[in-house]
């Protein structure tokens, strides 16, 4: 889970509210005060030409309270300068040692890029890809392009010398390829527990970059919007459909886009699909026109018919063909589908880029909630 070596405590006095590291204490006693510096922190920062004279000037000395507090404020500000804070990131079995707050960041996971942007943090290195409208600034030469969403360019990364690389989802398999270049974090979303996972990933990034206040505000907004959506969908049934080139594939809870039921408060008309065995070998996709492909098509039609027979209140449709093209053809294809012509439910065409490309990012989640709130009013 989320972890941080640095723990903070508030101290209120003449310099207002500032943060003091877990091993730096201020002790006030009558008209004098003592600044106690733990030796671990002294050694950590002793080589700094900025801090060394400061530590020598205030170490374990009794002095006028006002003078001491002024020095304390300065030392606290310096200690919390983002460039000076070493930290350990722990996340789902991963542990990364960062010498300072990352400033040269490579991001190959779009939900993480979306969350960082929402927190006011920019990536320096990104894939050479067409970014959706919410991340459009990265289409304009804002960052160095290094590889694709699936395959980071090791040569470019090596030359750019990032101090943190974030992979996940499409690029997850390349973690071992890039981890020797810089500390590398797999931040793949887990949509089986969408909101809890979103909060945990957001808080990890917020703690890393000192954006806790911004993260808390955005998360509160999302919680409020989700509550509003669930109030509107209470007691309503739905069917999630992923469509590509006229093929309509129902998704139940436990499948890729089946998170929508818990996310939005709908009752699924499909039974929950048990989780896949992660150790089971990946089954190859049947060759088009083969007996196996035809059998799979028949099975999918039977499943779709069973769902439609229950007359869901809503059909939520994700059109794969509209990704990066904005050419939505699913509505026309539905008119040609004999099974879907039997349903009277309201059709919600969701934003293909938001649901298929960007996914479970902080700002993108708010966008997804907004469109479902509007569609279910």
Domain boundaries, the chain: 3-84, 88-188, 217-275+291-375
**Antiparallel, parallel or unpaired: β 237-244 and 32-37:** unpaired
Q: What is the pLDDT along the chain (377 residues), one digit of tens a residue?
A: 444 333 333 333 333 333 333 333 333 322 323 333 333 333 333 333 334 433 343 343 334 444 544 555 545 544 545 555 789 999 999 999 999 999 999 999 999 999 999 999 999 999 999 999 899 999 988 899 999 999 999 999 999 999 999 999 999 999 999 999 999 999 999 999 999 999 999 999 999 999 999 999 999 999 999 999 999 999 999 999 999 988 999 999 999 999 999 999 999 999 998 877 666 666 777 787 788 888 888 888 999 999 999 999 999 999 999 999 989 999 999 999 999 999 999 999 999 999 999 999 999 999 999 999 999 99
Q: Decide if 354 contacts 132 (C-beta within 8 A).
A: yes
pTM for the predicted model, two decimal places: 0.77
217-275+291-375: CATH topology: Rossmann fold (3.40.50)
**Antiparallel, parallel or unpaired: β 3-4 and 87-91:** antiparallel
Let me know how many helices (H) and strands (E) the chain has, helices first: 13, 18
- The CATH class, in words, for 88-188 is alpha beta
The answer to whether 88-188 and 217-275+291-375 have equal CATH topology is yes
């Amino acid at each position: 889970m989320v972890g941080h070596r640095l723990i903070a405590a508030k101290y209120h006095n003449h310099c207002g509210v500032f943060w003091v590291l877990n091993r730096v204490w201020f002790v006030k006693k009558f008209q004098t005060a003592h600044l106690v510096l733990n030796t671990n922190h002294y050694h950590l920062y002793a080589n700094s030409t900025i801090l060394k004279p400061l530590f020598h000037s205030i170490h374990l000395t009794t002095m006028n309270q006002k003078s001491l507090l002024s020095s304390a404020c300065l030392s606290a500000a310096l200690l919390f300068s983002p460039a000076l804070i070493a930290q350990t990131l722990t996340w789902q079995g991963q542990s990364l040692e960062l010498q300072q707050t990352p400033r040269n960041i490579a991001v190959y996971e779009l939900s993480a890029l979306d969350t960082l942007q929402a927190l006011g943090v920019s990536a320096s290195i990104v894939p050479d890809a067409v970014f959706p409208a919410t991340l459009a600034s990265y289409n304009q030469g804002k960052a160095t392009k290094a590889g694709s969403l699936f395959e980071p360019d090791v040569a470019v990364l090596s030359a750019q010398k990032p101090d943190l690389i974030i992979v996940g989802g499409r690029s997850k398999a390349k973690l071992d390829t890039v981890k020797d270049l810089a500390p590398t974090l797999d931040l793949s979303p887990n949509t089986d527990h969408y909101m809890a996972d979103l909060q945990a990933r957001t808080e990890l990034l917020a703690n890393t970059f000192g954006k806790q206040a911004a993260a808390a505000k955005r998360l509160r907004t999302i919680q409020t919007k989700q509550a509003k959506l669930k109030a509107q969908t209470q007691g309503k049934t739905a069917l999630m459909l992923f469509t590509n080139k006229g093929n309509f594939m129902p998704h139940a809870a436990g499948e890729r886009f089946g998170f929508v039921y818990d996310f939005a408060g709908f009752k699924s008309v499909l039974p929950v699909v048990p989780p896949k065995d992660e150790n089971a070998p990946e089954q190859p996709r049947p060759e088009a026109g083969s007996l196996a492909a035809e059998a799979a098509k028949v099975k999918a039609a039977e499943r779709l018919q069973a769902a439609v027979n229950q007359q869901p209140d809503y059909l939520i449709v994700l059109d794969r063909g509209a990704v990066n093209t904005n050419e939505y053809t699913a509505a026309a294809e539905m008119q040609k589908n004999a099974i879907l012509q039997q349903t009277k439910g309201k059709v919600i065409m969701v934003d293909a880029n938001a649901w298929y490309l960007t996914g479970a990012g902080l700002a993108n989640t708010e966008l997804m909630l907004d469109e479902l709130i509007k569609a279910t009013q």
